[in-house]
Amino acid sequence: MSQLLRRPFGSHGKVHEITPQSAGWRYVGFNLYRLREGEIIGEATGSMEAILVMVEGKASFTADGKDWGELGERMSVFEKTAPHCLYLPNDVRWEARATTECTIAVCLAPGRGGHTARRIGPDGIKLTPRGVGSNQRHINNIAMEAEDYCDSLLVTEVFTPAGNWSSYPSHRHDEDDYPRITYLEETYYHRVNPINGFGIQRVYTDDRSLDETIAVADGDVVLVPRGHHPCGAPHGFEMYYLNVMAGPLRKWRFVPDPAVEWIMERDARQT
């Protein structure tokens, strides 16, 4: 099995726990909980800031000394509605009580105390198309560069129709050379509909010192430490992924694979 692939280590409770140490990098962490109604979980952010994303279902939250009430609306991520999220700075504790069966993603990156706790979405998050033809997908930007909620985190959701590609044309963001390119580590939390299907993600560098093609199942996480990282949804299976990115600079600048740069230029003329 690829070293970049993290399969869930259970079907209930905490099913993913990715730390910078376990991933072999410096910035991004990612946890995922699958809960039954009435169950309670909690964490301390410590040196990290966090965005809690209600992937599916509903839960009530207390955090940073405040009752945030119930978050969540969609019962299936493939409803494609805007998510309910909660931003938390470093050095706070949070607790969630599931009010339905639910899936909660915990997106983590270094915090510097530059922002305060706040709700994110569903207001202000709009499902937006990107790309053309069989490269079209739809984006829910939760906290990208234009949304100045965070110290380090960049977080977005992507819905890829069956038969389409996304994170494509292939691109990389693995050098700290702003404004040409920024260094951003990245995780992909994948979901597939129908659930017994699969998707494809390739992670490769220009010199092919890293070159892996991974079949992802529903619930898998792929680590992208460097290189290009396109995804494909086979005919008959739509794909969702939640991206978490972070690095030394909270800006997303990338360089395309020279082999596909002409596709990016052609598509730009069609939009």
Angle at 136 between CA 177 and CA 162, to 5 degrees: 120
Q: Note the pLDDT tens digit of each residue in 114-127.
A: 899 999 999 999 99
212 close to 202: Cβ distance less than 8 angstroms: yes
> Is the pLDDT at 267 greater than 90, yes or no?
no
Residue 245 confidence (pLDDT):
98
Give pLDDT tens digits for 153-164.
Answer: 999 999 999 999
Rg (CA), the chain: 18
Does the structure show a pLDDT above 90 at 266? no
Name the residue with tokens 């140490």: 21
Summary mean pLDDT of the chain: 96
Domain locations in the chain as residue ranges: 8-270
- The DSSP code for 133 is G
Taking the CA atoms of 265, 267, 268 and 270 in sequence, report the sign of the dihedral they define: positive
* Dist. CA 201–CA 223, nearest whole Å: 10
Q: Are 232 and 145 in contact, with CB atoms under 8 Å apart? A: no
Q: What percent of the chain has pLDDT over 70?
A: 100
Mean pLDDT, range 172-182, rounded to an integer? 97
**Residue by residue, what is the 3-state secondary structure of 66-119?**
EEEEEECCCCCHHHCCCCCEEEECCCCEEEEEECCCEEEEEEEEECCCCCCCEE
| Residue owning tokens 């070159």 | 211
Per-position DSSP letters for 24-47, written without gaps between them: TSSS-EEEEEEE-TT-EEEEE-TT
The pLDDT tens digits of the residues spanning 218-259 come to 999 999 999 999 999 999 999 999 999 999 999 999 999 999
CATH, domain range 8-270: 2.60.120.10
- Identify the band that residue 271 occupies on the pLDDT scale cut at 50, 70 and 90: low
Look at residue 241 in the predicted model and tell me its pLDDT: 98
- Arithmetic mean of pLDDT, 187-194: 98
Among 54, 101, 112, which residue's Cα sits nearest to residue 242? 54
